[in-house]
Amino acid sequence: MRIGIPRALFYYQYFPFWKTLFEVLRFEVVLSPPTNKEILEQGTKLCVDDACLPIKVYHGHIAVLKDKVDMIFVPRVISIEPRKYICPKFLGLPDMIRNSIPDISRVLDTELNLYKGKYNMLNHVLNLGKILKINRSRILLAYYKAIKAQMKFEDLLIKKLATPQELFDKKQNFILESQLLKKHTNNIKVLLLGHNYNIYDDYISMGLIRKLRKNKIDLITTEMVEKKYITIGSKQLSKDMFWTLGEKTLGTAFYYLENSKVDGVIHVASFGCGPDSLVGEILEKKTKKQYKVPILYLNLDEHAGESGFNTRIEAFLDVLEGRKYLEDNLSAHG
Partner 1 sequence: MKITFPHMGNIYIPLKTIFESLGCEVILPPPCSKKTLELGVAYSPEFACLPLKINIGNFIEALEKGADTIVMAGGVGPCRFGYYGEVQKEILKDLGFNFEMIILEPPQGNFIDLLNKIRLITNRNNNGVKDLIKAIRIGWKKALLLDEIEKQLFKYRPRERCKGQTEKVYNSLVKEILNAKCEKELALLETQIHDVFSNISVIKNLTPVKVGIVGEIYTVLEPFVNLNIEKQLGELGVEVYRNIYITDWVRENLLPSFIRSQDHNIMLKLAEPYINCFVGGHGQESVAQIINFSKMGFDGVIHLLPFTCMPEIVAKSAIPRINQEHHIPVMTIVLDEHSAETGFRTRLEAFVDMLCHNREVKNNAVLSGN
Interface residues toward partner 1, by CB under 8 A: 47-48, 50-51, 76, 78, 83-89, 91-92, 94-96, 99-100, 102, 111, 237-239, 241-243, 271-278, 280-282, 285
Within 13 Å and on the Cβ side, how many CA atoms surround 141? Answer: 9
Q: Which is nearer to partner 1, 190 or 279 (CB)?
A: 279
| Closest distance to ligand SF4 from the beta carbon of 195 (Å) | 5
The candidate with the shortest Cα–Cα distance to 48, out of 38, 58, 36, is: 58
Distance of CA 306 to the CA centre of its chain: 21
Angle at 241 between CA 150 and CA 221, to 5 degrees: 45
| Closest distance to ligand SF4 from the beta carbon of 300 (Å) | 9
Out of 57, 270, 287, 317, point to the residue binding ligand SF4 (CB under 6 A).
270
Question: CA 94 to CA 108: how far, in whole Å?
Answer: 9
Binding mask 179-198 for ligand SF4 (x = CB under 6 A): ----------------x---
Q: Which is nearer to ligand SF4, 121 or 245 (CB)?
A: 245
| Closest distance to ligand SF4 from the beta carbon of 270 (Å) | 4
Out of 57, 276, 287, 298, point to the residue binding ligand SF4 (CB under 6 A).
276
Considering only residues 235 to 264 of the shown chain, the ones binding ligand SF4 according to CB under 6 A are none
Residue 7's Cβ-count burial label (10 Å; 0-12, 13-18, 19+) is: buried
The dihedral formed by the CA atoms of 230, 117, 140 and 224, expressed in degrees to the nearest 10: -10
Binding mask 304-333 for ligand SF4 (x = CB under 6 A): ------------------------------
Using rule CB under 6 A, residue 283 touches ligand SF4: no
Q: Is 194 left (phi over 0), alpha (psi -120 to 50) or beta?
A: left
Question: CA 256 to CA 287: how far, in whole Å?
Answer: 11
Residue 99 touches which member of partner 1, ligand SF4, none, C-beta under 5-8 Å by kind:
partner 1
Question: CA 288 to CA 175: how far, in whole Å?
Answer: 41
Strands 218-221 and 189-194: parallel
Binding mask 49-88 for ligand SF4 (x = CB under 6 A): ---x-xx-------------------------------x-
The dihedral formed by the CA atoms of 29, 35, 39 and 40, expressed in degrees to the nearest 10: 140
| Closest distance to partner 1 from the beta carbon of 55 (Å) | 8
Strand residues in the chain grouped as ranges (E): 2-5, 28-31, 71-73, 76-79, 106-108, 111-113, 189-194, 218-221, 264-270, 295-300
Residue 101 touches which member of partner 1, ligand SF4, none, C-beta under 5-8 Å by kind:
none
| Residues at the site binding ligand SF4, with contacts judged by CB under 6 A | 52, 54-55, 87, 89, 195, 270, 273-276
